[in-house]
Amino acid sequence: MQEYRTIPITKTDIVPTALRMRHEGRHLVMIHGYLDKDGSTHVSWDYAVGNAVESYYIVGETTFPSIEGVYDEAARWPELELYELLGLTFEGLDTSARLFLPEDTLETQGKGHIVVTPLSELREKRLEMEKEE
Amino acid sequence: MSYIVPIGPYHPALEEPVHAKLYTEGEVITDAEVYVGYNHRGIEKLATERNAIQTLVLVERVCGICSHSHSFTYAMAVEGINGVEVPRRGQYIRVITAELERLHSHMLWAGIAFHIIGHDSMFMYTWDAREVIMDMLEELSGNRVNYAMVTIGGARRDISDDMRRKFLKNLDACVPKLDRITEIALNDKTIALRTKGVGVMSTEDAVRLGAVGPHARASNVKIDVRKDAPYSCYDEFDFNICTWDSCDVFARVVVRLLECYESVKILRQALENLPEGPINNGNKLPKIAEGEMVSRHEAPRGQLIHKVVGNGSLFNHRVSIHVPTFKNVTTVPLMLRGNTVADAGLIIAGIDPCFSCLDR
């Protein structure tokens, strides 16, 4: 059966953990991020270790060092996704190209609002916009 | 002369929304960029305002080809959080659907690959063989896409004894067709000329870029979630991981065709040894307990990842879906370099992409 383990780390452990995992030949499953119920960010670096996923997580931070130098493209896309959809900053990550959002979204609408704003609020905003039109 | 050749945002053969920018020197591609995001539907966002049963229906619509994989993986994540034990018959039915799905997905891709290569007779042979599998899926679930076979804690539909025997017969009828396709694919000159040495990705690059699924196995990387991290009842079946060492588009065709035989092998074992008992734990709407889980499933295209976070209510706090194409598409620029523009369509299609799932 697949297992799942969570391990809390600090910002300084991110790159050493990635280097250790790379050295051991582990697969970077994904970098996941979400807002917990208190509204603080929860970001986890998930690695496949045998039949388990080890999830190294940090709560309440918004800037992180990029591990693109360790895991190459396998880390770049997940980091870009978190930058666009959650508004998190990865130091050393090239963010000039967009991933999911339209070319002009970052300038005109800000970033990170899609996953953060409750759907009901977005719906109300949309209705208001329609009324104004 | 150098040119910039745009392809897309609509793939010429795959009917998938992707945009590739090719920097060329004459006919030869020197660099390439891939852009996605043309079909972002906000499914992860919608899932935060749905309960577990509604989410099963929702995530099934992430992908048309591997729809069962998504509901299977989501159900595994919720069962992992809640600590639900799935009855063995339910597990077997899930695996049977998953393997039928893999068969039809691989054959669909092989057919399209042959069509792009320009071998349209093979396209028709392959899709003819695929139709047998589609009929089985239709008989099993009532649908040709979005099978709705999974519920939290088991399967939704049972397999009768007649159906079981009929499926075994259908598989016997499918294998000779598969043999013929594989024989032609391995020996045909047209296919060899268009695929051998095209879109090469070395084993080191596949590991470095984190490629998954058949795409990585065609570069001789031995990874398969079904073997590396067995889930459901996959540890009870005898099957092999298929790899090929030529690392080109030819290898991708061969690996997928060989995997069809492994799927048939698993299906035979599952249908012959289908355990007795209930198929699920009843239809009560489950609460998602406080906690989180990452579940992985070997979808037809590679490792599919679902992360579910529950907060003790009926609704998901967060569902994060990452499809295999998310990992594989980053290898495309590397494979395009040094090939001609005429092969670009085939090389992009070679990863068996599903960009709509990637955008989700």
**Interface check A53 vs B, CB under 8 A:** yes
Cβ separation B48–A74 shorter than 8 A:
no
| Helix (H) and strand (E) counts in chain B | 15, 8
Q: How near does any CA of chain B get to the CA of A55, in Å? A: 9
How far is Cα B124 from Cα B340, in angstroms, rounded to an integer? Answer: 27
How far is Cα A62 from Cα A56, in angstroms, rounded to an integer? Answer: 16
pLDDT tens digit sequence for B33-52: 888 878 878 888 888 888 88
Domains of chain A: 3-132 (3.30.460.80)
**Would you state the structure tokens that stand for residue B18, as one six-digit string?**
């992707």
Closest residue to B327, CB basis, from A52, A74, A119: A74
Q: How near does any CA of chain B get to the CA of A76, in Å? A: 9
> Domain residues of chain B, as ranges?
2-359
Q: How near does any CA of chain A get to the CA of B206, in Å? A: 10
pLDDT grade for B73, boundaries at 50, 70 and 90: very high
Closest residue to A99, CB basis, from B36, B207, B307: B36
Q: Find the mean pLDDT for residues B309-317.
A: 87
Q: Among all residues of chain A, which has the CA nearest to that of B296?
A: A2
Q: What is the pLDDT of residue B12?
A: 65
Q: Give the least confident one: A87-101, B27-41, B253-267, B313-327.
A: A87-101
How far is Cα B203 from Cα B338, in angstroms, rounded to an integer? Answer: 18
pLDDT tens digit sequence for B286-298: 888 888 889 999 9
pLDDT tens digit sequence for B105-118: 999 999 988 988 88
The amino acid present at A113, given as its one-letter code, is: H
pLDDT above 70 (res A107): no
Q: Find the mean pLDDT for residues B123-139.
A: 90
Q: Among all residues of chain B, which has the CA nearest to that of A57?
A: B292
Burial B17-43 (b: 16+ CB within 10 A, else e): bbbbebbbeeeebeebebbbbbbbeeb
What is residue B51's DSSP assignment? B
Q: What is the pLDDT of residue B95?
A: 92
Considering only CB atoms, which chain B residues are within 8 Å of A28? Answer: 210
The class level of CATH for B2-359 reads mainly alpha
What is residue B340's DSSP assignment? B
Task: Identify any residues that bridge with A95 across adjacent strands, giving them in sequence order.
Answer: none
Q: How near does any CA of chain B get to the CA of A2, in Å? A: 6
pLDDT grade for A118, boundaries at 50, 70 and 90: low
How far is Cα B19 from Cα B326, in angstroms, rounded to an integer? Answer: 15
**Interface check A52 vs B, CB under 8 A:** yes
pLDDT tens digit sequence for B4-25: 888 877 766 677 788 888 888 8
ipTM of this complex > 0.90?
Answer: no
Cβ separation B45–A119 shorter than 8 A:
yes
Cβ separation B292–A4 shorter than 8 A:
yes
Q: What is the pLDDT of residue A102?
A: 67
How far is Cα B309 from Cα B281, in angstroms, rounded to an integer? Answer: 22
The amino acid present at B285, given as its one-letter code, is: L
pLDDT tens digit sequence for A62-82: 888 888 888 888 888 888 888
